[in-house]
Amino acid sequence: MPFLIENITLVVLALFVLALLGNIFLIGVVFHRRHRRQKFFRRVDAFRERYSPVVAGVLSERLDYPDGLEQLRTIACPDRLTVLERLCLEKKVSPAEEPRLRRLCEDLGLVKIWQQRLMGRVDQASLREALSNPQGLLRRVKILHFLIRSKSAENLGLIRHEASWPLLVKALDDPNPDLQVVAVRSLAAIHHPASFPPLVEQLHKAVVDPAGNLSVRILKSALVSFSLQSAGKLRDSLRHTNPRIRFLATDVIREIVEREALGRPEFRLDSRNFSEEMAEICLTALPFDENPDVRARSAPVIARLADERAASTLLKLLDDSIWFVRLHAARSFAGSRFLQHAVRISKALTDPNWRVREAAVRTLRGFGAPGLDLLTAHFLATSDRYSREQIADEFQRAGLIPALMTRSTETGNGRETAVLRHLAEMGKTSYMIAALENGAGNGKLRTSFLELLGQSPDPQIQQWVEEVAAREADSDVRILAQEALGDIRNQGDD
Amino acid sequence: MELWRQVFIHGMDIFNILIISYFLIGNGVYTLLMALSLATVWLYNRRMAYQDMDEIRESPVTPPVTIVIPAWNEEQMIVETTKSTLQTDYPELEVVVVDDGSNDGTLARLVEHFQLTKMDLIYRPQIPTRPVLGFYMNPELPNLLVVSKENGGKPDALNVGINICRTPYFCTLDSDSILEKDALLRLMRPVIHSPVNTVASGGIVRVMNGCQIRDGRVMKVALPKSSLERFQVVEYLRSFLFGRTGWDLLGGTLIVSGAFAVFHRETVMEAGGFAHDTVTEDMDLIIQLHHWAALHGRRIRMSFTSDPVCWTECPATLRMLGKQRRRWQLGLCQTLWKHSEMLFNRKYGIVGNFSFPFHLYVEALGAVVEFLGYFMVPLAIIFGMVPALLYLLFVLLSLAYGGLLSIGAVLLEELTYRRYPSYADLAKLLWFAFIENLGYRQLVLYYRFEGVVRFLTGSWHWEKVTHVGVTRQVS
């Protein structure tokens, strides 16, 4: 057939009509979808209104359990399972309510369905069901079954169904990445001690084969949710030939220990919560590991050991050749337990790496007044510009400048006054000026500052003195500023 | 005379081929992206049924993030943006606002609202930037730091933020934008879940005009009143919901909106930070990261997620819209030109062989082809080279197909997020999607064409879009 322009015209016309019909079809789908969703949510809301008080009553024991269960069993609708799942799982329950929620889910038959689905036994939906609702579609199309299986794994984790842990462990080796991730998370939620080793095994696999489905972060996040007792099962990982596995195992223990110690400054690792063998590994193997990451991450664990060798081991780490090992060691000294080593820690204030210096400053400040005294003494005595900068930084960030100024006013020529002078010499005067401006009504503070630093060559101070000399309402302060200004000019003329 | 006639006829033939191929390639790829996005976003939403945010929120291994907000003359919105950012639901979060030498009250408003004090802190630049003038902090709000610096442009301000940030990831946020409370958690999820180093993770940017805002939060989502803004709502839906989602699925991400995106700090630093030589520093960085990964043989990943939402104010006037679109087009041309060695370069995989050529031909040069088409084809009809009926049908087809793609974006929105709850708004959205190609498209095309002209003439300056605060504030 010859290629005629009429043919092209016809093709374009047909395409235009098709596109137009496509527009109309899509608009229809949008409105149909909106209508369907609204209908669905109205139905769910109606069930929620009627049965949420029943679930709440059962969980809080305000309602007789058999009565509540019977009422929930009467729910009958095409998406009964979805409705029941929403009713039971949409609100977070308190730890006291958890056992009752588990029992309720078991007695309603939900747990059995979730377990079966997790194992891959998904009931096939009819074509009509598949076309009429998305859940039906998921049940009909086999490649979408992973969505149902993953949701079931999630639900078992949400109710912390202990008996389901072996099924979840099995799911760790499922080819579907989503199911694997959800299984890891649910195992972490249940934290049954027996599921710890399989998770460690997955961590090893993730390290050896980084192209796998599970990320190291996901596995680490799961492992750190286990108890301190489980950490003992990482013994072999700590001795593994792969340095990254040793690092991750150390880091998992560190996270567990830090979680346990949160809000408990006196928390110690001793024979009641940490085996002697593990303590020995922490003291004699990890701080000397060839992998600096292991050495670094062992520091916070060592800091919590009740063993008297802990401090000396940490001090060794503070002298490590790798900066981030020293950084972690410096941070780990935080806490009054190591106050007696404050002088030794203050040596890290002159560390060549700024992050170590910063950590040392913060650790010392964390010691309270004695630490602050040490910092101040070092600040005044040292000729090391970098450590002075670092301490000045911390004084400002911690908001200590106004307190230093007040103290200087009270004590006259004390150490605080010397600190302020040093800060002015370093050009760190913005905060002082801001404190003076904020405390405009405090004539004594301003007078004291003018006497102390009114003649400082610092441009910010000079500008402030000029402003005070020109506009200050308090005549005494104004005169003092004018005198300071005169002195500065005289110095300039000389 | 005959020679000139022949030249004209041949020229027109070539142009006709260009315009038909532009139509076929453009719409073909967009259709593919729409189909892919429909499937991906639907599946993603189903998967959300078992993706609990608590896992990320409560896990001690969730990496800390610094949100960097570059601001230049943004006194209207900056406090609201910073407030909303500080309320972001994320376990370890720092916020760094970089005032890029504003000459309005941007810095003063921040200082006043957050009771900040000027401090002389240490600045250790690893990426060279213009000098920093001061740091502002409130010891009671230790996770907020405001930095004042000499004006050096948005990339320079972002680089200052990167230099200051200590966290392994940083998030860039435009100073006229508002984050949803859990947006950062959602944006970080692909980073946490991926076994591969995810160097960039982008989220969806939606139009805030017309919405009600209270305490730095979008309280009620509604369509704006003016047609110009409504067209942009549709445009944003299409661009983000099926454009970026589709490219992400194909592994050809070339654009991650810097208005709201997370980056891996170390990788960005190794790649040299944000460059100053284009006006779309976000796109430039993404391409630079692809380039860096190929050069160093590193396996990296970029992700786009369609549910972490950042609300932004779109231009409310033609003048501002023109400025914005000219800048986008100029930036696109500059960036593609700068990285032209990637074109059909096997080393860059999908990006070099598919995404880059598509953006070059359809998005960059397409503006010229389509713009000239509106003048050249009528000429061809006048000279009897194309039948008028065929031309008319072709125009109608392109309008109907454009409408189909826009309505597809609204369908995608309805299948997934349904942010516009009222039937009236939905109907309006569909109407504006249907008529978008009648007038608005041509208007934007004109601005894009101007952008290309600016690129060719070397007029490469940044055009600032100022906002007037068109959202309704609820006290």
3-state secondary structure B258-303: CCEEEEEHHHHHHCCCCCCCCCCHHHHHHHHHHHHHHHHCCCEEEE
pLDDT of residue A343: 92
Nearest Cβ partner of A30 from B50, B390, B426?
B426
Q: What are phi and psi of B459, to 5 degrees?
A: -85, 80
pLDDT (tens digit per residue) in B121-137: 999 999 999 999 999 99
Instruction: Give the pLDDT mean for A478-487.
Output: 82
Nearest Cβ partner of A19 from B117, B401, B411?
B401
| Cβ–Cβ gap B62/A221 under 8 Å | yes
* Residue B289 Cα distances to A276, A321, B245, B265, B292, angstroms: 49, 33, 19, 12, 5
Nearest residue of chain B to residue A248 (CA atoms): B61
Q: What is the mean pLDDT of chain A?
A: 90
Query: How far is Cα of residue B134 from the mean position of the Cα atoms in its chain?
Result: 30
Query: Is residue B470 predicted with pLDDT exceeding 60?
Result: no
pLDDT of residue B164: 95
Long-range contacts of B218-227, Cβ-Cβ distance < 8 Å, separation of 24 or more: B218/B178, B218/B180, B218/B311, B219/B474, B220/B474, B221/B419, B221/B420, B221/B421, B222/B420, B222/B422, B222/B425, B223/B420, B223/B425, B223/B428, B223/B429, B224/B316, B224/B470, B226/B316, B227/B432, B227/B440
In b/e form, how buried is each residue of B269-306, taking b as 16+ CB within 10 angstroms?
eebebbbeebbbbbbbbbbbbbbbbbeeeeebbbbbbb
Instruction: Give the pLDDT mean for A299-309.
Output: 94
Q: What is the mean pLDDT of chain B?
A: 90
In b/e form, how buried is each residue of A351-387, taking b as 16+ CB within 10 angstroms?
beebbbbbbbbbbbbbbeeebbebbbebbeeeeeebb
Q: Which residues pair with B99 in a beta bridge?
A: B71, B148
The order of strands in the sheet holding B260-264 is B117-119, B132-137, B144-149, B93-100, B65-71, B169-173, B260-264, B197-207, B300-312, B177-179
Nearest Cβ partner of A185 from B55, B394, B423?
B55
pLDDT of residue A488: 66
A439 touches chain B (CB under 8 A): no
Query: Is residue B176 predicted with pLDDT exceeding 50?
Result: yes
Q: Which of B17, B24, B48, B61 to mutate to test the interface with A (most CBs of A within 10 A)?
A: B61
* Residue B267 Cα distances to A374, B271, B338, B340, angstroms: 39, 6, 20, 22
pLDDT (tens digit per residue) in B2-50: 788 788 888 888 888 888 888 888 889 999 999 999 888 888 888 888 8
B117 touches chain A (CB under 8 A): yes
Contact B355, B252 (CB under 8 A): yes
Which range, of A100-109, A452-461, B466-475, averages the lowest pLDDT? B466-475
pLDDT of residue B474: 45
Cβ contacts of A427 on chain B, cutoff 8 Å = 120
Nearest residue of chain B to residue A189 (CA atoms): B55
| Cβ–Cβ gap A438/B117 under 8 Å | yes
Query: Is residue B199 predicted with pLDDT exceeding 90?
Result: yes
Nearest residue of chain B to residue A155 (CA atoms): B50
pLDDT (tens digit per residue) in A389-422: 999 999 999 889 988 898 888 887 788 899 999 9
B456 to chain A nearest CA, in Å?
35
| Cβ–Cβ gap A23/B400 under 8 Å | yes
CB contact residues (below 8 A), chain B span 309-348, against chain A: none
Residue B331: band (very low, low, confident or very high) from pLDDT cuts 50, 70, 90: very high
pLDDT (tens digit per residue) in A114-129: 999 999 988 888 888 8
Residue A491: band (very low, low, confident or very high) from pLDDT cuts 50, 70, 90: low
Instruction: Give the pLDDT mean for A14-43.
Output: 92
Q: What are phi and psi of A170, to 5 degrees?
A: -60, -40
A218 touches chain B (CB under 8 A): yes
Query: Is residue A451 predicted with pLDDT exceeding 80?
Result: yes
What is the Cα gyration radius of chain B? 23
Instruction: Give the pLDDT mean for A486-491.
Output: 68
pLDDT of residue A447: 87
Cβ contacts of B122 on chain A, cutoff 8 Å = 354, 389-390, 393
Nearest Cβ partner of B139 from A34, A255, A399?
A399
| Cβ–Cβ gap A215/B193 under 8 Å | yes
Nearest Cβ partner of A30 from B193, B400, B414?
B414
In angstroms, the first-to-last Cα distance of chain A is 105
Residue B475: band (very low, low, confident or very high) from pLDDT cuts 50, 70, 90: very low
**Any idea what DSSP says for residue A175?**
S
Residue A470: band (very low, low, confident or very high) from pLDDT cuts 50, 70, 90: confident
Which residues lie below 8 Å from residue B438, measured CB to CB, with a gap of 6+?
B399
pLDDT (tens digit per residue) in B220-277: 999 999 999 999 999 999 988 888 888 988 888 999 999 999 999 999 999 999 999 9
**What is the reported pTM?**
0.89
| Cβ–Cβ gap A435/B117 under 8 Å | yes
Compute how many other C-beta atoms are within 10 angstroms of the C-beta atom of residue B99.
Answer: 28
Q: Which of B43, B120, B167, B390 to mutate to test the interface with A (most CBs of A within 10 A)?
A: B120
CB contact residues (below 8 A), chain B span 377-416, against chain A: 387, 389-390, 393-394, 396-397, 400-401, 403-404, 407-408, 410-411, 414-415
Residue B471: band (very low, low, confident or very high) from pLDDT cuts 50, 70, 90: low
Cβ contacts of B61 on chain A, cutoff 8 Å = 217, 220-221, 224, 255
Nearest Cβ partner of A151 from B50, B62, B426?
B50
Nearest residue of chain A to residue B409 (CA atoms): A26
CB contact residues (below 8 A), chain B span 9-28, against chain A: none
Query: Is residue A136 predicted with pLDDT exceeding 70?
Result: yes
Cβ contacts of B55 on chain A, cutoff 8 Å = 185, 221
Contact B291, B339 (CB under 8 A): yes
Cβ contacts of B393 on chain A, cutoff 8 Å = 9, 12-13, 16
Instruction: Give the pLDDT mean for B448-453.
Output: 95
**Any idea what DSSP says for residue B147?**
E
B430 touches chain A (CB under 8 A): yes
Higher-confidence residue: A177 or B380?
A: A177
pLDDT of residue A440: 54
pLDDT (tens digit per residue) in B91-110: 999 999 999 999 999 999 99
pLDDT of residue B77: 86
| Cβ–Cβ gap B195/A216 under 8 Å | yes
CB pairs under 8 A between A and B: 144
pLDDT of residue A132: 77
Query: Is residue A439 predicted with pLDDT exceeding 80?
Result: no
B123 touches chain A (CB under 8 A): no
Higher-confidence residue: A106 or B51?
A: A106
pLDDT of residue A395: 93
* Tokens found for residue B285: 């960085």
| Cβ–Cβ gap A217/B430 under 8 Å | no
Q: Give which of A414, A407, A492, A479 is closest to A450, Cα–Cα.
A: A479
Cβ contacts of B50 on chain A, cutoff 8 Å = 150-151, 153-154, 178, 182
| Cβ–Cβ gap A221/B397 under 8 Å | no
pLDDT (tens digit per residue) in B333-354: 999 999 999 999 999 999 999 9
Cβ contacts of A8 on chain B, cutoff 8 Å = 390
pLDDT (tens digit per residue) in A324-371: 999 999 999 988 789 999 999 999 999 999 999 999 999 999 998 899
CB contact residues (below 8 A), chain A span 93-122, against chain B: none
A214 to chain B nearest CA, in Å?
6
Nearest residue of chain B to residue A392 (CA atoms): B121
